């Protein structure tokens, strides 16, 4: 039944084309190639629809398919009648030369405006059930961008309608691509996806490209655009010189339109004024609410990383080498570091890094006042090499940003507030611990017991050089706790990896169990805590969160016992990615009236520890050092004697002057903090690190 509809429409188009040819020949006139060429658009659409139906790839209903067939027939009919329409305009121009140009201009204007609306719908309908509910301000931006693109094509095609239908067709193709990406990855197309088209193409064959009725409704808009555009034609040139002159004028108009479109894409002020926003975890929601182009362009405008003042690659290289030399002459020349280097070269220990979801010690939030001492096991392990508090840039979410800072060593302070590198950039050329270990002969594995597409980890981990990524599909039947696969289950998976391979490994584990929300009441009885000034609901959430941390603390201690029993050297780094969002409620209840910097620093603080099951040379005493995520990878490498990159050596030298830095502030050597953005109050090493970070990362994604 469904297949018959496009086949019947194709037959009607074929009959109409045959009748057109027959009538032309009966008048001793040659059929117009241009007229017949316009039939390509509806024929291609109907052939595609028939193929989807025949292959069982159409999941929509007969109504949408019927609309497509009707619109394709309308496009075909308009194409076959376009000769009469253009002849009428030509005759009008012959009778009244002054009336011809205005009539042609009016027809073109109506077609362009109609195609703007149709292009908007062609782009939004395939993927966006909220397409007709997009706010006027967002829709106006998107239609303005579409108008600019259509004007470029209209003049580029010498004022013929083919440029318009090509533009609307491109809008539908974008909507179709977003439809498939949303179906396959539950995410939006972001500007950085354009950098990895080759990778996307490599895996595209494994997908099933079925469509629904909304896709056909978007394609119907292309058919209607074809119907309107087929009636638009420029006047015939009276001479070769007038043809050249008109061609140059049209190309000039196309250039002007392109300049305006470029300005609309690159000037961000009106986007901000109209409230265009983006939260990358909810990217699809924002695309549906604001429109594809509106949001895509806003994200693209967010891509550039500010170039440091007076920056040059050569000067930044010299700065980096100077700081690295300073490290070599001081910390790098210490006997403990030299001993650790020799030991690492001989033993090549396996290195396990655990970024534990929302693990933090909330006793820093006035725990004495409400009877909380913090998790105890993680901070009392025998064999701990270093530990302390960890300054982070995010709270309640944005796990990927803590990952980014750890794995690359690039401080978010120099990337920009509100940016998510995992979503914005191709990290193939970024500094990477995974690549660093691979170059030393290690096998590298990342694991996260959730969807591989979350924060684009499937793509990002590959770009960063991991050999393997274990996602939720690799934890079938695993123990669950609270919000997902338990910490203990991920540790069991790590132990499995160690059993399977004797060689040195680098394993990065991003856990899941402590993820919000904390009102699930799914972990049984929990110790109850009460903070004065907080509601019972919030106190109950706090109690549930702390019970999750207690379980993480217990699982970590049990994991360390397993590692202690192994007959192979293993180094372990454990740290929390951020505090829960409810920390702000506790903080506000107990510490009101203080300055913003101190208030925010308290909720952007987690913990870390480095541990080993062997005696690390030079690490006879436990070091207590507060630091930040961007230094953590280099600090681990330094502690276990791993060879350091030039950037890592330079960072460790800067760390002596700037012990911690995040998007909240920067700590000076004397322990005082300077708020983010107050660069004038910071020593020159802050600007030097900005140049080095841009050299290593910013320029690779510009």
pLDDT digits (tens, 9 = 90+) for 631-689: 999 999 999 999 999 999 999 999 999 999 999 999 999 999 999 989 999 999 999 99
Q: What percent of the chain has pLDDT over 70?
A: 92
Q: Which of 7-21, 80-94, 406-420, 463-477 has the lowest mean pLDDT?
A: 80-94
User: Torsions phi, psi of 175, nearest 5?
Assistant: -60, -40
pLDDT at 23: 81
Distance CA 657, CA 330 (A): 14
Q: For 290-430, list the strands marked E by DSSP.
A: 350-356, 384-391
Query: For residue 100, is pLDDT > 60?
Result: no
DSSP annotation of 643 reads P
Contact 631, 393 (CB under 8 A): no
pLDDT at 138: 92
Element (H, E) at 382: none
Residue 27 banded pLDDT, cuts 50, 70, 90: confident
Element (H, E) at 508: strand 505-510
Query: For residue 181, is pLDDT > 90?
Result: no
Query: For residue 235, is pLDDT > 70?
Result: no
161 class by beta-carbon count within 10 Å (0-12 exposed, 13-18 middle, 19+ buried) = buried
Distance CA 434, CA 637 (A): 12
Instruction: Tell me the mean pLDDT in the region 525-549.
Output: 96
pLDDT at 195: 62
Q: What would the pLDDT profile of 479-516 be if each residue is shown by its tens digit? A: 999 999 999 999 999 999 999 999 999 999 999 999 99
Distance CA 571, CA 569 (A): 7
Q: How many CA atoms lie within 13 A of 382 on its CB side?
A: 7
Residue 89 banded pLDDT, cuts 50, 70, 90: low
Instruction: Tell me the mean pLDDT in the region 606-629.
Output: 91
CA dihedral angle for residue 649, residue 651, residue 657, residue 658, rounded to 10 degrees? -160
pLDDT at 668: 97
Q: Which of 49-63, 99-113, 184-198, 625-639 has the lowest mean pLDDT?
A: 184-198
Given the structure tokens 């949408």, which residue do they identify?
Answer: 64
Residue 377 banded pLDDT, cuts 50, 70, 90: very high
Distance CA 365, CA 361 (A): 9
What's this model's pTM, rounded to 2 decimal places?
A: 0.76
pLDDT at 500: 95
Query: For residue 270, is pLDDT > 80?
Result: no
User: Torsions phi, psi of 280, nearest 5?
Assistant: -70, -25
Q: What would the pLDDT profile of 132-141 be if each residue is shown by its tens digit? A: 999 998 999 9
Query: For residue 615, is pLDDT > 60?
Result: yes
- What domains appear along the chain, each with residue ranges and CATH number? 4-301 (no CATH), 313-700 (3.40.720.10)
DSSP string across 222-288: HHHHHHHHTT--PPPPSSHHHHHHHHHHHHHHHHHHHHHHHHHHH--HHHHHTT----GGGHHHHHH
Q: For 108-215, list the strands marked E by DSSP.
A: none
Query: For residue 171, is pLDDT > 60?
Result: yes
Q: Supply the mean pLDDT for the chain.
A: 90
CA dihedral angle for residue 83, residue 89, residue 95, residue 101, rounded to 10 degrees? -140
pLDDT at 88: 54
Nearest one of 597, 638, 592, 649 to 322, comparing CA atoms: 649
Distance CA 352, CA 641 (A): 15
pLDDT at 597: 94
pLDDT at 610: 97
- Token pair listed for 401: 């940003």
- Token pair listed for 77: 């009919």
Query: For residue 309, is pLDDT > 60?
Result: yes
Distance CA 552, CA 171 (A): 49
pLDDT at 230: 84
Q: For 599-688, list the strands marked E by DSSP.
A: 605-612, 623-624, 627-628, 660-661, 665-667, 673-675
Query: For residue 554, is pLDDT > 90?
Result: yes
């Amino acid at each position: 039944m469904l297949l018959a509809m496009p086949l019947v429409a194709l037959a009607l188009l074929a009959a109409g084309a045959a009748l057109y040819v027959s009538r032309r020949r009966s008048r001793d006139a040659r059929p117009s190639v241009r007229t017949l060429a316009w039939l390509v658009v509806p024929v291609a659409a109907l052939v595609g629809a028939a193929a989807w139906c025949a292959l069982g790839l159409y999941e929509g209903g007969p109504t949408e398919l019927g609309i497509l067939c009707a619109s394709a027939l309308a496009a075909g009919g308009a194409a076959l009648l376009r000769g009469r329409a253009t002849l009428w305009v030509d005759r009008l121009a012959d009778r009244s030369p002054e009336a011809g140009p205005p009539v042609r201009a009016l027809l073109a204007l109506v077609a362009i405006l109609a195609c703007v609306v149709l292009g908007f719908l062609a782009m939004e309908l395939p993927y966006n059930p909220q397409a007709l509910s997009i706010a006027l301000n967002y829709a106006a931006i998107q239609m303005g961008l579409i108008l600019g693109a259509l004007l470029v094509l209209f003049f580029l095609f010498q004022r013929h309608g083919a440029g318009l239908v090509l533009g609307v067709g491109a809008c539908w193709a974008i909507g179709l691509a977003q439809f498939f990406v949303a179906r396959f990855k539950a995410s939006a197309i972001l500007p950085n996806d354009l950098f990895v088209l080759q990778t996307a193409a490599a895996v595209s064959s494994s997908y099933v490209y079925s469509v629904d009725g909304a896709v056909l409704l978007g394609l119907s808009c292309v058919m209607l655009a074809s119907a309107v555009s087929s009636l638009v034609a420029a006047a015939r040139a009276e001479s070769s010189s007038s043809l050249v002159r008109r061609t140059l004028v049209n190309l000039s108009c196309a250039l002007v339109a392109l300049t305006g479109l470029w300005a609309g894409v690159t000037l961000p002020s009106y986007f901000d004024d109209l409230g265009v926003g983006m939260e990358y975890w909810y990217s699809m929601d924002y695309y549906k609410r604001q429109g594809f182009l509106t949001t895509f362009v806003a994200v693209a405008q967010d891509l550039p990383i500010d170039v440091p003042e007076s920056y040059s690659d050569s000067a930044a290289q010299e700065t980096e080498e100077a700081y690295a030399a300073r490290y070599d002459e001081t910390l790098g020349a210490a006997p403990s570091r030299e001993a650790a280097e020799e030991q690492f070269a001989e033993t090549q220990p396996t290195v396990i890094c655990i970024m534990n979801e929302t693990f933090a010690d909330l006793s820093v939030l006035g725990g004495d006042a409400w009877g909380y001492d913090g998790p105890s096991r993680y901070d009392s392990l025998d064999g701990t090499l270093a530990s302390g508090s960890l300054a982070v840039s995010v709270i309640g979410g944005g796990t990927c940003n803590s990952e980014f800072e750890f794995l690359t060593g690039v401080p978010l302070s120099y990337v920009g507030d509100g940016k998510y590198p995992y979503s914005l950039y191709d990290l193939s050329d970024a500094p990477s611990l995974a690549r660093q270990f691979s170059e030393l002969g290690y096998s590298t594995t990342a694991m996260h017991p959730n969807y591989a597409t979350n924060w684009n980890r499937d793509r990002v981990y590959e770009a960063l050089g991991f050999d393997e990524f274990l996602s939720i599909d690799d934890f079938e039947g695993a123990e669950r706790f609270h919000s997902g696969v338990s910490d203990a289950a991920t540790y069991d998976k790590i132990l499995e990896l160690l059993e399977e391979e004797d060689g040195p490994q680098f394993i990065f584990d991003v856990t899941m169990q402590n993820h919000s929300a904390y009102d699930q009441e799914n972990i049984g009885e929990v110790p109850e805590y009460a903070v004065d000034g907080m509601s019972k609901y919030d106190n109950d959430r706090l109690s549930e969160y702390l019970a999750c941390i207690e379980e993480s603390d217990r699982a970590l201690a049990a994991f360390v016992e397993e590692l202690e029993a192994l007959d192979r050297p293993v180094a372990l780094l454990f740290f929390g990615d951020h505090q829960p969002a409810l920390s702000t409620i506790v903080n506000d209840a107990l510490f009101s009236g203080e300055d913003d910097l101190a208030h925010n620093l308290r909720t952007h603080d987690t913990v870390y520890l480095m541990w080993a099951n062997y005696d690390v040379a030079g690490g006879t005493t436990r070091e207590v050092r507060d630091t930040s995520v961007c230094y953590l990878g280099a600090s681990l490498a330094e502690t276990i004697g791993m060879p350091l990159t030039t950037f890592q050596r330079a960072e460790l030298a800067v760390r002596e002057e700037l012990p911690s830095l995040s998007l909240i502030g920067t700590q000076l050597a004397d322990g005082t903090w300077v708020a983010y953005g107050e660069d004038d109050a910071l020593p020159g090493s802050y600007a030097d690190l900005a140049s080095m970070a841009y050299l290593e990362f910013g320029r690779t994604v510009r």
